[in-house]
Amino acid sequence: MDKQKIIAVIGGGQCNKKEAKLAEEVGQELAKRGAVLVCGGLGGVMEAACRGASAEGGTTIGILPGEDSQAANPHVQIPIATGMGYARNIAVVKSAQAVIAVGGSYGTLSEISYALQGGTPVIGLNTWSLSRNGREDSSIIPAQSPAEAVDKALKLASKKGEK
Amino acid sequence: MDKQKIIAVIGGGQCNKKEAKLAEEVGQELAKRGAVLVCGGLGGVMEAACRGASAEGGTTIGILPGEDSQAANPHVQIPIATGMGYARNIAVVKSAQAVIAVGGSYGTLSEISYALQGGTPVIGLNTWSLSRNGREDSSIIPAQSPAEAVDKALKLASKKGEK
Amino acid sequence: MDKQKIIAVIGGGQCNKKEAKLAEEVGQELAKRGAVLVCGGLGGVMEAACRGASAEGGTTIGILPGEDSQAANPHVQIPIATGMGYARNIAVVKSAQAVIAVGGSYGTLSEISYALQGGTPVIGLNTWSLSRNGREDSSIIPAQSPAEAVDKALKLASKKGEK
Amino acid sequence: MDKQKIIAVIGGGQCNKKEAKLAEEVGQELAKRGAVLVCGGLGGVMEAACRGASAEGGTTIGILPGEDSQAANPHVQIPIATGMGYARNIAVVKSAQAVIAVGGSYGTLSEISYALQGGTPVIGLNTWSLSRNGREDSSIIPAQSPAEAVDKALKLASKKGEK
């Protein structure tokens, strides 16, 4: 049996309406294509993405910083309570075959860093861009729409799985 | 919508035949009653429990110590790769509403400790017993069979959820 | 240059007077013999041990669960803030060549478990004792006094270093 | 008694000669001014910084990803073995009152992210620069020399301590 594709959606625990709309559509697209969504389980981008995925019958996993599963947003079906604070950011991205970042602040940047460090592809929607010692680092793959982000994530996830 | 019951099954990454049989039956019973099984995702008791749950159509989550989801045993449906080594033991028990221990060595004892520390009930099948400063500590609730262990776990999980 | 001996002192964040006295004497003995003390950095046994070590001019390290170094007890000279909650228990024992347990509850038991799992010797003063599946597990080495505990810890730490 | 100032030096586990020279001078300057150096304990920038600090009689702490203290570089005086992999990056920056980044790859970027998330000042020497959704983020404070980096770190560490 094939393992299911698991895609992480990362972004701020608080977000503006535009980001919430993007995240919700990312969640919907992932569910329509049969991918499992993993995220940090809290509000903002995480909640919007889970809401979108749930509405389309998808599976949602929330990897929480605290010890209480009940802190998960209401659209998380499978809450994982780590009790490890922001170290849970690592588990969010390591559990995915590709990562989609929507907006986000420094916590999101830590997740992007961990993903790139481990060779997990990162697709960005209105998110960070990076320069290293004055030279642009183009590792974050830009997307212009939720559908394009999900397309790219699923294609790159397949390649990653093949290794 | 009610959150699903999530029960952890813990025990050695290597185990004898008797323990494997107990763990497999625990997995079967959990699946029959609609509970989600969470474990450490590797071999021994973890694999036997996942095999039992999968055979009955249950959902299995494996929270792995390493960074590679492919290290999960073949009966794990949802692998969570933490990259945090034995610290993942904490996430296994914190994610559950009750814990069933089958046999096990010091890693299992660390999981029992974390569960009891957080007030999560622990049911034991052929596992550790404890004395503190010369006085017996009877926090680990003994069970004589897999079915009894699952009965007790699900009852105590309900009580925990009510808090 | 030889690395210094680092010995962990573990026990409850709250403790009775007898345990505090034992822990303080353990700290004093460690400092007198030139060992560095590592602990979880908070109150109770941890604070008493650090107070004893500091009084004798020893070095004290506190590995804290939270993100704020200022949560350390006043006798911690080198606070390490992990932000990882109880997962810091692992770092406390993995950083030591031997562990001395004074009293303690389930958190202490998790530390004992992690130490024994990794082959780090554990000396016990009025602490847990263990049975596995009905058979006594005598891995925790009993001591009758702080001086005896420190003697045994330093001897076993040397052997561990030789490996 | 005042707690000592603890400054983190972060950067690649492998580095070029220029980065090693910068890191070594950062270590020397920190030691000359009485600050404790904390780092990830391994090679490259971490080793160069520890070598510099040790040469000037400073104290060096290495917070290691693995379970074995002996993996520390030879200039680490106090090795902390976490067994938590890259999650140890969080402890490195949370334990410091300011962070100096020298070069570095994605692991370093994760440390910068965690520091900025928690409000810990980050001084950069030939390191990352950031843009968020097309707008420059100037949170990383640039320095032109090791001495300037240490100056800025110690001043900002004092302010942080005052809060």
Give the tens place of pLDDT for each residue, B48-92: 999 999 999 999 999 999 999 999 999 999 999 999 999 999 999
pLDDT tens for each residue of B13-28: 999 999 999 999 999 9
User: Among residues B93, B85, B124, which one has the least CA distance to residue B111?
Assistant: B93
Contact residues, chain D to chain C, C-beta under 8 Å: 3-4, 6, 36, 38, 59, 61, 63, 67, 69-70, 77-84, 87, 90-91, 94-95, 97, 118
User: Among residues D53, D60, D62, which one has the least CA distance to residue D80?
Assistant: D62
Tell me if B133 and C126 make a contact (CB, 8 A cut-off).
yes
Tell me if C87 and A86 make a contact (CB, 8 A cut-off).
no
| Confidence grade of residue A161 (pLDDT, cut at 50, 70, 90) | low
Check residue D2 and report its DSSP letter: P
User: Among residues C127, C86, C123, C121, which one has the least CA distance to residue C107?
Assistant: C86
pLDDT tens for each residue of A50-88: 999 999 999 999 999 999 999 999 999 999 999 999 999
Tell me if C85 and B85 make a contact (CB, 8 A cut-off).
no
Alpha helices in A36-145 (DSSP H): 45-55, 88-94, 106-117
At C28, the amino acid letter reads Q
CA distance C57 to chain B (A): 31
**How many other CB atoms are there within 10 angstroms of residue A66's CB atom?**
18
| Residue ranges of E strands in chain B | 6-11, 36-39, 60-64, 78-81, 98-102, 122-125, 128-132, 135-137, 141-142
What is the token pair recorded at C55?
């009084």
pLDDT tens for each residue of C107-149: 999 999 999 999 999 999 999 999 998 899 999 999 999 999 9
Check residue A86 and report its DSSP letter: G
Question: In this structure, are strands C135-137 and C128-132 parallel, antiparallel, or unpaired?
Answer: antiparallel
Q: Which residue of D has its CA nearest to B87?
A: D84
CA distance B99 to chain A (A): 14
> Shortest CB distance from B106 goes to which of C84, C106, C113?
C113
Contacts of A79 in chain B (CB under 8 A): 3, 6, 95
Contacts of B79 in chain A (CB under 8 A): 3, 6, 95
Q: Dihedral (C-alpha) A68, A72, A76, A80: value to the nearest 10 degrees?
A: -30
| Residue ranges of E strands in D35-142 | 36-39, 60-64, 78-81, 98-102, 122-125, 128-132, 135-137, 141-142
Total beta-carbon pairs less than 8 A apart between chain A and chain C: 15
- Cα angle B97, B98, B104 (rounded to 5 degrees) comes to 140
> Shortest CB distance from D114 goes to which of A103, A110, A112?
A110
| Confidence grade of residue C158 (pLDDT, cut at 50, 70, 90) | confident
**Beta carbons of A113 and A28 less than 8 angstroms apart:** no
What is the token pair recorded at D20?
């090693």
State phi, psi for A104 to the nearest 5 degrees. Answer: 105, 155
The number of angstroms, rounded, from the C-alpha of C60 to the middle of its chain's C-alpha atoms is: 11
Tell me if C132 and B132 make a contact (CB, 8 A cut-off).
no
pLDDT tens for each residue of C42-89: 999 999 999 999 999 999 999 999 999 999 999 999 999 999 999 999
Tell me if B91 and A91 make a contact (CB, 8 A cut-off).
yes
Residue A114, pLDDT > 60, answer yes
Q: What is the pLDDT of residue B23?
A: 98
